[in-house]
Chain A
């Protein structure tokens, strides 16, 4: 299976500041790939190179098997880039905005009418198509921005921190739209500086820090990469101290911790080679705990992220 994105030894510097230093990774087709890193890690620079806004100073970048420098125009037809800021013609209506980009991509009026209807339905903006963009809320503007990216039906979406500044509801709705797009056969490359935000969405992830790749691969692999331990969390109806004793008594359990005194949430770290989550669940039920939820501990993902990235601000 030929990768959709194939970056090898990408390097880009702004004068003396090296933004990206020898980045190499690939992204499989029809997947959602998370691109995670702290602020200033080089995510936006990499995305801009992929979007053909910047030329790579060293290394090669291929999209759908085409070189982004040599075949720039062809690559542009296949990608849709959504920057981390709102760059919109706010004096246009939603329909005029999408119609303009459709025409600029060379679509006929009939094609535009059909595809605009589709993308407005997908982004749930059909009812607001005659509204001026400047009167829309941030979440709605983000949807319009996403609709604009989709208007020429690209196969690869490059989204730079699309959820930043959105309220929780808008975030969840955005993630649902992205899942739907994946089902429609799109490949989505999404950047964020919060790993847990992408945990449930992404099939694979690349973690970037200080211009270098710290991890690239599947989301499961990221957790596996963190030694042989795994972590799960129980949320109970009420505090239940007996669960700690019950879980600690199982061979292979490394630690059981209550998240805070009085809170009915317990995290269990265990050796996944000797134990399975089912064994933990049955031990917890035996202890008489009333379980509300039993999930993989997201904190654990954050810990993996913290372990892979370096603390402090990147020096110039």
Chain B
């Protein structure tokens, strides 16, 4: 009997060994522990004055855990099967006595157990919140139950996409997209739906079901459930019943079963072994003919083969315009009381949609600018070109940056439309405020801070993609978030020194960006030599 489980145990122990030997896991755990300790340190003074200090601390700990698990989980769970596909070892695993169920369990359980243990070890420490007051033991246990169930859901959702996709990056993107659909989209849909019910909108049975789904998704949101548990003492006091628990446990089980059912279809040996044929004509990432290389050949290569080139840019721009158009149309149909969307509203939608899309593309490009070269081991052939590594990095940056221009233009158009509308409709007070030195200084500072922040995140992600093969973006967010937090402690966020804090942060970020940018050429040389 035990012999039947030996291959599964072997796979599980290999996964645990990999987890233990990896450099990333202990760093993440140490960062999280440090973060939690800092939370206590920061709130030490407020504990003396607040009547329910434990409540605030519990919420902070829950938030840190939620975002930490999301960031790390995306990188870790989504690579469970794709890492075997990328290394070409899935076929070897399938040749052993392991069946698909054993492979799925062996590959995902170790990561899930690791996350669960990470949560479990915190519980005794979090009980400090009971001593501080404002939080009961049941609430703490329920918060951890919600987080555990969320972890189970995330693990199986990531596993599902890991089975479906060939590449980890795609699995991460699709898991992230599902997260937006499950947790963020319902909030956007809920507002107009509830407004419609107040204004006597249609109440057909189909619409009722849709409303029910939206309402259920909102109730199942782990963050909402945690907040409800901590501040409203929801759930009737019993620690292991919660609105989000059935959704996450059930959803996790469904995704696991789907992964199992679809495993043979998407992870067959033949599929892995078969060469991926493509059509026999020249083309870029979008399958379209590309022009001859420019004088700056590396910029040409990255522009066409990493970001899709001019035609790819055009296709994306059309797609984005359609999305923005749909948002405008949808907003227009759900805008009550004020009639149709005005010029300023449309400008606002364009501005913020462009900013969100720009951020998503910017992050994607930052991860891929060197990550793709490193994965394909092509940095060596670039480094051997008769040019300096700094010029190589500069050309790569240029090639990638070009693809972001249309979104920046779109953002600027939106900003111009919104500002123009406000200027003409907000009276002379707004105009004189816009012309004031105070406004200009504020705007300048804000723009500098935002640009520097983007540059830092981009440079750090690009640098980390040269250092580590997995999760450079997640690590960037952890590092930047941690540094923001530290600087917040140093300058006391919310106090009168807000402007000084922004200037300090901007300065530090600018210095860090320059240091990283200087180090990138050296790192390219290192990576090229190691290939």
Contacts and interface: CB of A to CB of B under 8 A. Distances in A.
| Secondary structure type dominating chain B contacts | loop
A315 B268 CA distance: 40
A87 B378 contact: yes
B381 A87 contact: yes
Interface string B263-293: 0000000000001111111111100001011
Interface stretch (A46-54, A58-66, A234-242): A46-54
Given A76-B385, A83-B531, A104 B282 contact: no
B376 A89 contact: yes
Contacts of A210: none
Contacts of B423: none
A69 B276 CA distance: 41
Contacts of A109: 292
B528 interface: yes
B299 to A, nearest CB: 10
Interface in A76-93: 76-77, 79, 81, 83, 85-93
B377 A85 contact: yes
B323 to A, nearest CB: 26
A228 interface: no
A276 B282 CA distance: 59
A230 interface: no
B297 A100 contact: yes
A255 interface: no
A87 B278 contact: no
Nearest to A79: B384
Given A53-B383, A53-B384, A135-B275, A88 B293 contact: no
A294 interface: no
B305 A48 contact: no
Contacts of A90: 376
B301 interface: yes
A90 B283 CA distance: 11
B278 A135 contact: yes
A289 B283 CA distance: 62
A100 B277 contact: no
Contacts, number: 91
Interface residues of B, number: 35
A52 B384 contact: yes
B295 interface: yes
A10 to B, nearest CB: 15
B32 to A, nearest CB: 31
B280 to A, nearest CB: 5
Interface residues of A, number: 38
Contacts of A306: none
A131 interface: yes
A79 B285 CA distance: 31
B377 A93 contact: no
Given A100-B300, A105-B385, A134-B276, A93 B376 contact: no
B312 to A, nearest CB: 12
Contacts of A99: 292-293
Contact of B282 (A48, A81, A93, A106): A93
Contact of B280 (A92, A104, A131): A131
Nearest to A73: B386
B294 A130 contact: no
B376 A76 contact: no
A134 B376 contact: no
B380 interface: yes
Nearest to A148: B381
A92 B378 CA distance: 13
Interface in A127-154: 130-132, 134-135, 148
A130 B280 contact: yes
A95 interface: yes
5 contacts: A53-B529, A81-B384, A99-B293, A103-B300, A106-B386
- CB-based closest 8 A-B pairs: A103-B293, A103-B297, A104-B297, A87-B377, A76-B386, A132-B278, A87-B378, A93-B282
Given A83-B380, A101-B385, 15 more contacts: A77-B386, A83-B381, A85-B377, A85-B531, A86-B377, A87-B531, A89-B301, A93-B281, A93-B283, A96-B290, A100-B293, A103-B292, A105-B386, A132-B279, A135-B275
